[in-house]
Structures are given as structure tokens and as C-alpha cells.
Amino acid sequence: MLTKRIIPCLDIKDGRTVKGINFIGLRDAGDPVELAAKYAMEEADELVFLDISATEQKRKTLADLVLRVAAAIDIPFTVGGGISSIADVEILLKNGADKVSINSAAVKNPDLINKLSDKFGSQCIVVAIDAKQKEGRWKVHLVGGKVPTELDLFDWAKEAQLRGAGEILFTSMDHDGTKEGYANEALARLSENINLPIIASGGAGKITHFINTFIEGKADAALAASVFHFGEISIPELKNKLKEERVIVRIDK
């Protein structure tokens, strides 16, 4: 079994870290640079930074804030929000990002995945997919979950892989912020359908939820926000519990 990764997520709006439930009802969660430094010290495996209003507001990700976060950490760093071109990615990588996450722009222009993968390598390209269940099917949503489509989660993940994505970040909108566990059934099905690392997102509330998503959901990484931001779960405690359950994680200290 490969080493499983724990990934805190900084959802950024107006330069602050925020968190909501089911993509709405956002509340302030702190300064992103301070949180990033804290998570790096606590041995998070990676960090994800999502400028959640960039696409809706039709502006680019906050490149200067990316630069400040990158200077505060020494772990891999993925940035998303408003990315729609090679030039956008070049700026973010120059400012310290290791990977970029594309979502709405990839659905609207699937060739973007090919172009970015060809230019920067597939290991640099994360395709984020926000989806919710409708009449028993997982439907992809765009613009921070505000715009529903008829695109099927599993079909889109397969296409993203074929076009050169290096990783899939799947967020269940139904589970987001509920703290009732990840969408493990959908995650397991994703892992059977594609041959890419899958990051589980949406629903973490207890340590058992992380254990279950690695074992039942077959996720390669688990992303969470509020449980880390508000001190409900510490990363060292989480990793020790995972190790006790024979889930392989990186523990340096």
C-alpha cells in the first residue's frame, strides 16, 4: 500500500481562509499564511489553496498571496481558482506553487488539460471535480458548485485522465462541511474506473472518517478544512491513529 496523504485545504475568499457547509454559509477561519505555516509544522503532507470566488468573480487567483504562503511552508503546494491558461499556471509556479488545480475551466475547455499537461507535465495538473447526487447519479457542478451540468462524475474523471490529468480531487457537495464522513462509495468506484491518485474531499468530522475513506473509499489522500482550522482534529493525532489502524502515513518525528 502506498503512503496515504493528509491535506489541509485553505479555501480563500477576499484574502481570508473561509469554510461553509454544502458550499454555502461561509465563515472566517483565519489568516491563510499563519494556517499554512502551522500545518507544515504539524507534518501535513501537502497543502491545497483554493481561491473559491476567482471563477465567479472572473478574476485570477491571488498570486501575491500564493507567494506569501509558499514562503511559509516546505511541503508540496497546490493552487486553484480562476486558472484558464498556460500564462496563469506559469505565474503560480513562479510564485511557489508545485501543482495547479483546474475545475470549471477544464469542463468548459477540456483541451486545457492537454495543453497544461503537455507544457508542465501531468504530475503538475490536478483536475478538481465538484459533484452532487441527482436521481442516483453524480452530476458535475461548476463555479464553486453554483452551476449544475449534466456531466457524469465518472465519465468526466475518465476523460480527464485520458487528457493528461495527474490527479483527481473529488469533492462531494452533498458531504461538504457536514462532518458525517466522505462519499466512500463514489470514491471506491472512482478508484476502480481510473488509474490516477484520488483525493477525497467533503465530509471529514472524525478520525474514523479518514480511516474509512482510505480503507473503504480507497482514496490516496484525504483533504479536510474545518476540522483542522478550528482545532477539532490535530494532524499528529490523526496520523498516529491512522498508523494504529495500519494505514501507512508519513511520520517524521
**Which entry of 11, 51, 176, 220 is annotated as an active-site residue?**
11
Report the 10 Å Cβ neighbour count for 29: 20
- How far apart, in whole angstroms, are the C-alpha atoms of residue 44 and residue 82? 25
Given a contact cutoff of 8 angstroms between Cβ atoms, the answer to whether 181 and 175 are in contact is: yes
The residue among 230, 227, 229 whose CA lies nearest residue 238 is: 227
Q: Give 114-174 as a 3 state SS string.
A: HHHHHHHCHHHEEEEEEEEEECCEEEEEECCCCEEEEEEHHHHHHHHHHHCCCEEEEEECC
Distance CA 204, CA 180 (A): 7
Instruction: Give catalytic status of residue 51 as yes or no.
Output: no
Buried b vs exposed e over 64-77: b needs ≥16 C-beta within 10 Å?
ebbeebbebbebeb
**45 catalytic, yes or no?**
no
- Cell 474531499 locates to 201
User: Alpha-carbon distance 224 to 205, whole Å?
Assistant: 9
- Report whether 195 contacts 161 (CB < 8 A): yes
Euclidean distance between CA atoms 124 and 119, whole angstroms: 10
Residue linked to cell 475547455: 109
Residue tagged active-site, from 51, 130, 176, 220: 130
Residues serving a catalytic function are 11, 130
